[in-house]
Structure 1
Amino acid sequence: MADPHPGVGAWLLILDWAIRILALLWIPMRTTPGAARSWMLLVAFVPLLGLPAYLLLGHPWLSRERVARQRMASQVIRDEQAPLAHLRWTPVGDGAEVEMAPLIERLGDFMPTHGNHVELLDDYDGALRRLVGDIDGARQRVHLLYYLMFDDAVGDAVAAALVRAAGRGVQCRLLLDAVGAKRGLRRYRTRLQAAGVEVHDMLPGGLRWRRSGRMDLRNHRKVAVIDNRAAYVGSQNLAEAGFIPGFPNCELVARVQGPAVAHLEAVFASDWFIETGERLEVTPTLPLHDADIATQLLPSGPAYPFENARDTVNALIHLARRRLVLATPYFVPDDATLSALRIAALSGVDTQLILSSSNNQRLTAWAQESYYDQLLPAGVKIALSRPRFLHAKHLSVDDGIALIGSINLDIRSFALNAEIGMLCYDRDVVARIRGIERHYLADAEHLDAAAWARRPLWRRSREGIARLADAML
């Protein structure tokens, strides 16, 4: 039978190749080579789906307004630190901190400060009780910035504490990611606002997404600031440990006091300004007399000119000389991070990677397994922690530097999410983290390079296919 529309097939063929050529000219200019290869592969197989998907999700763009506001916030942070030289900590000697401190300040705006106290909280429920207790003790203000808030017992407890604080005349502000905290926003926003709590969602979607940026960019930070007295930073969200059925979380949170409190409040104020346009005053916090831990903040995200979380992690890996331990739930590294880990191990650094045996993101779990073949033969030790889902994110370098926060060792965390990390330049903090790491390792499955190489071919194929989507995970 003759084709009733003989010209349609020709036009579809022309459109098909036009999309491929346009993608070849456009995509490599706007993404990293690794990401460009993944997107080009998708476009080559399904052009009519691949190119629209790339236009929506392929480039981590933010609105000009948000980028400009981040630039303004960074300048304010730098300017307001200038007269506070008495708070600055200056590293001495020839350790890695001598190189890291000025690098972090250039990448993330914050100078290192002395006179801080850092308490490490790895008891999930205990950390949340401490947070609610601090909110109940607040007298001036409570500022909470979180990726996820669930409509469960933890969400109920935090919301009730905020209502009580607002009832005492405490200024309470709550910033929640529009996607991660969707359930919490839906359940608590009206009630909290009626009680006098200011609530805003971050990076909203729907009809407002063009004022934000790429649709899947997220604010992944977890920060709480109570008066000038205490602040929290780490991996823990405002949800019960088992908010994802079958994957009860294991977390690490740092409760800090001292000048770091004001710096964490500056991070909150920056995000508040980016979302609302309102500038909040941040009062410097004095050093503690009975503590002298040096800390330094690293906020990161697509609003910064560089992938500063990735650069920081890679610099720490390269500066390690004896012992390097990295704990993360999601491990989908770029080529630079993968190379840094191999070089560290081959240079004789005792390099330990601690991942979770269980994983709530199956495609990510398959993709990360594909990297083990490149790490195990180089001498990188890989342990799969169990039985809980290891959601904590931290690393320790030699005996003197630790990084704690919300940063995962994956491309999404490095390039797409707004994250927060706190560096501690202190031997005692590192020793305490090493104790926590030993606890992870005691119950872990330790991978053997030879045994891993014998895994079935179908698993290798599955891992390789999942890895093709590394830039999209």
Structure 2
Amino acid sequence: MSLGSWLLALDWGIRLAALWWIPSRTSPAAARSWLLLVGFVPLLGLPLYLLFGHPWLSRERVRRQRLASQVIREEQAPLQALRWTPQGQDADTEMVPLLETLGDFMATHGNAVELLDDYAGSLRRLLDDIDGARERVHLLYYLMFDDTVGEAVTDALCRAAARGVTCRLLLDAVGAKRGLRRYRKRLRAAGVEVHDMLPGGLRWRRSGRMDLRNHRKIAVIDNSAAYVGSQNLADPEFVPGHPNRELVARVQGPVVAHLEAVFASDWYIETGDRLDVFPTSPLQHADSAVQLLPSGPAYPFANARDTVCALAHLARRKLVLVTPYFVPDDATLSALRIAALSGVDVQLILSASNNQRWTAWAQESYYRELLDAGVKIALYRPHFLHAKHLSVDDEMALIGSINLDIRSFALNAEIGLLCYDREVVARMREIEADYLADAEQVTTERWETRPAWRRSREGLARLADSFM
């Protein structure tokens, strides 16, 4: 047989094997994208699928996550006095058991939630809390840059360690590559424990698929305060031309211990070392009910996606969603469409500028379908809107690191905080109104005037949604 015949046989052998293999191991949407790639370029598509086609984690990581979930549930069992149970038949009666089943944490009362909308102000509060720490500082972040913010955080951790404070820093191996390269030795020399998460290189087989990332942003200071939201440890313009606008929640009360439990889980998954987590008492001066939602490929369900869809289905009057990246799966798209068609005022707020060009093209392909269903789409212009949050009626607000895209739903470890508090929702409504004041609403008439080449570009980008 000639070389050409062998190559032809190999080419078709790969296509047929992919047709049999891929649909049984990935979702239908992802299988569609991968089969298209393998069908067009088999010799390229096959190795790419083997590397990135299935969101697998090592068995040891899955085992450690399962054990961490078990410990979290067992440790909460004696603390029923902290549990918050909704009264009546509102939407929160459905969300509380769902989140506890998905993410292990019960809802608690006696919390304080402060929404921080100012980038520099949020950073100052964090640095002040680190400087005031007496026992421990635990930081878990996706991104830390070698810039003025990275320097400020490093200096604050070194000062805390010099006072005898136990300081631990967990950073994503890819997102925080620059910060790890510049600050790791200095921090360790000062007594700060530093570890990278989901490392690549020769260690990737012990972690998981190479593009799986820990996208969480969490800071815990003593038992007194914690931070969760969208802001990384970097200057607002760490992507040139895209100054970020963020939203962070500074919390106090029992939820602080829950955020520390998430840190301790990730620390255990990365190092094998178990940390003690101590309960935090309810506050006397505040009584917000909140519930934590960790998500990621180590969990048996798509925690983030299922929560977003449930909130959309439970909305009765108003649903506002804010995200920098909007590449939804079929379930999320359907939930938003059904909510709008049911008469809910659904407002999607996106950033007019975007640092991920392919993602921006893909998300534009969804606009017409959403507009036809009655979903409002606003494009915020002054900054790159990197905040990630949503609000439901006047009752619930979700804030954290979760984007409304397939990567956040299936590939990244994420964190969300669901607040069952009308005052928190009212404050979030003020922030949403501020976005809308500087945003342009997309109309069907305007959208239909875009040139044909843009529509083709959007369609091609959408075909690759499962690669994002």
1:355 aligns to 2:350 (yes or no)? yes
In the other structure, the counterpart of 1:183 is 178
Q: 1:323 aligns with which of 298, 318, 323?
A: 318
Q: Give the counterpart letter for 1:158 in structure 2.
A: V
Three-state SS of the structure 1 residue aligned to 2:260 is helix
2:202 paired with 1:202: no
Q: Separation in 2 of the partners of 1:470 and 1:59?
A: 14
Aligned with residue 427 of structure 2, among 408, 421, 432: 432
Name the SS for the 2:413 alignment partner: strand
CA–CA distance in structure 2, aligned partners of residues 453 and 307 of structure 1: 34
Aligned to 1:466: 461
Determine whether 1:99 maps to 2:94.
yes
Which residue of structure 2 lines up, in the alignment, with residue 132 of structure 1?
127
Q: For residues 83 and 454 of structure 1, what CA distance do their matches in structure 2 show?
A: 61
Match of 1:155 in 2: 150
Q: Which residue of 1 aligns with 2:240?
A: 245
User: What does the per-residue CA deviation read over 1:233-271, in whole Å, with 9 as the maximum and x for residues that have no partner?
Assistant: 000000000000000000000000000000000000000
Question: 1:224 aligned to 2:219?
Answer: yes
Q: Does 1:50 align with 2:40?
A: no
Provide the C-alpha distance between the structure 2 equivalents of 1:118 and 1:69, rounded to a whole number of angstroms: 31
- What's the counterpart of residue 402 of structure 2? 407
- Secondary structure in 2 matching 1:434: helix
Aligned mate of 2:306, from 283, 300, 311: 311
Q: Does 1:268 align with 2:263?
A: yes
Counterpart residue number, 2:379: 384
Matched, 1:173 2:168: yes
- Alpha-carbon distance in 2 for matches of 1:193, 1:141: 15
The Cα shift of 1:461 comes to 0.3
Structure 2 spans left out of the alignment, 5+ residues? none
Question: Which secondary structure state, in structure 1, belongs to the residue aligned with residue 106 of structure 2?
Answer: coil
Q: Shift of residue 37 of structure 1?
A: 0.3
Query: Secondary structure of the residue that 1:218 maps to in structure 2?
Result: coil
TM-score computed with the length of structure 2 as normaliser = 1.00
Corresponding residue for residue 18 of structure 1: 13
Identity across matched positions, percent: 79
Deviations 1:130-164 (A, max 9, x none): 00000000000000000000000000000000000
Q: Given the two structures, how large is their TM-score scaled by the length of structure 1?
A: 0.99
Where does residue 452 of structure 2 map in the other structure?
A: 457
C-alpha distance in 2 between matches for 1:89 and 1:417 = 29
2:274 corresponds to which residue? 279
1:454, CA displacement in angstroms? Answer: 2.3
Structure 1 residue runs of 4 or more that deviate by more than 4 Å after TM superposition: none
Distance in 2 between residues matched to 1:387 and 1:432, nearest whole Å:
21
CA distance in 1, matches of 2:336, 2:256: 32
Q: What is the Cα deviation at residue 290 of structure 1? A: 0.6
- Aligned position for 1:3: none
Query: Who is 2:210 aligned against?
Result: 215
Matching of residue 442 in structure 1 with residue 444 in structure 2: no
Question: Which residue of 225, 231, 255 maps to 1:236?
Answer: 231
- 2:413 aligns to what? 418
- What do residues 209-247 of structure 1 show as CA deviations (whole Å, max 9, x unaligned)? 010000000000000000000000000000000000000
- Any idea what SS the aligned residue of 1:219 has? coil
CA distance in 2, matches of 1:15, 1:395: 49
Aligned letter for 1:441? L
- CA RMSD, aligned part only? 0.5
Number of paired residues? 468
Q: C-alpha deviations, 1:79-138, integer Å up to 9, x for none?
A: 000000000000011111000000000000000000000000010000000000000000
Consecutive unaligned residues of structure 1, counting only runs of 5 or more, are: 1-5
1:289 alignment partner, one of 284, 287, 299: 284
- The residue identity in structure 1 corresponding to 2:387 is A
